[in-house]
Structure 1
Amino acid sequence: MSKTAILVCAGTALAAVAAPSSASASAIARPQSPTRVVVDCFYHPQVRPATFLIACADGNNYLTSLHWSRWGQNAATATGRDVVNDCKPYCAAGKFHSYPAGVRLDRVRRWNGQSQHWQYARLTITYPGARPADTPRSMTYPLWS
């Protein structure tokens, strides 16, 4: 009888000591949802940017007026305007034209080896109506990392 009482008391004490430890360990071990970002030309991570430069070298193509309807774990979607220089007769003398565009970001991967940021690595632009000359209805670009 005394052996049973000792075992019950020891088991109860062990359970009391272990419960807070395992509860706090599970709270610590539970990872927060990593931030999804799109990386710009200057390697700055952005979340839901209002504008996004596509042609980094010369600035002749960029997205503006972006309104994000989704910024999820696997993809982000927005509507906005694609502003493109026609480069006629050459880019420095060209005119900028603006086109309505749907934007999708996807192909999520770890950014620059940092666990707190995951980046969208691909950009797809879809034109619902007018679009730049010699441009298909949908264009896909790999993004910087």
Structure 2
Amino acid sequence: MQRHKLRTAVTLCAAAALAAVAPASTSAGASSPTPDPDPVLVDCFFDPQVRPDDFILACGDGNNRLVDLRWSSWGPAVAEARGVDLVNDCRPYCAVGKFHAYPVTVKLDRPEPWEKDPDQDHYTRMRLVYTDDKPAQADKEETFKLWD
């Protein structure tokens, strides 16, 4: 009789352990909704980024990049950050130019389906607002269309 109680106890424990890790079944035709992921920021290598610390704006030569990005929000419609825009002055030419740092706020918006992964939205517009000095060739506010 002891052996039967022990075997029953072991069987019940095993069944409970399996039930704890097994996914809950759903009835036929019903599916659990999964929330759409927030949009991504597509980088120069066409990789999706979420809340990146840095981001290259000049993909061809790297002479303009955002660094030290601190994201205050990242949502389905808008993402916002503060950081620094590092811009090469390219004087007398870019290979020997100096990088200058400009504090900036960054706003991403206008999410659309990403060509590489249509189930994933990506931000299509970036707005930079220089909060102090700005590059000589830039306006106080600059808006860029982002690549797909």
- Does 1:65 find its partner at 2:68? yes
Identity %: 46
- State the secondary structure of the residue aligned to 1:107: strand
Equivalent position to 2:44, from 35, 41, 46: 41
Alpha-carbon distance in 1 for matches of 2:115, 2:73: 23
Give the aligned partner of residue 139 of structure 1: 142
Report the residue type matching 1:123 in the other structure: M
1:21 paired with 2:24, answer: no
Q: Give unpaired runs (5+ residues) of structure 2.
A: 1-25
Distance 1:112 1:50, change over 3 A: same
Q: Highest relative contact order (Cα 8 Å, sep 6+), 1 or 2?
A: 1
1:119 to 117, 122, 129: 122
Query: Where does structure 1 lack aligned partners over 5 or more consecutive residues?
Result: 1-19
Distance between the aligned counterparts of 2:92 and 2:54, measured in 1? 27
Moved over 6 A (4+): none
**Which of the residues 76, 81, 84 maps onto 2:79?**
76
Report the Cα offset of residue 135 of structure 1. 1.2
Shift of 1:113: 5.4
Task: Give the counterpart of 1:104 among 100, 104, 107.
Answer: 107
Equivalent residue letter for 1:101: V
- Give the alignment partner of residue 129 of structure 1, picking from 128, 132, 143: 132
Query: Which residue of 2 is the match for residue 55 of structure 1?
Result: 58
How many residues get paired? 123
Q: Normalising by structure 2, report the TM-score.
A: 0.77
Distance 1:139 1:88 in 2: 22
Give the counterpart of 1:92 among 91, 95, 98: 95
Structure number with the higher helix fraction is: 1
* Alignment correspondent of 1:11: none
What TM-score do you get using the length of structure 1 for normalisation? Answer: 0.79
1:134 and 1:112 mapped to 2: Cα distance? 32
DSSP 3-state at the match of 1:92: helix
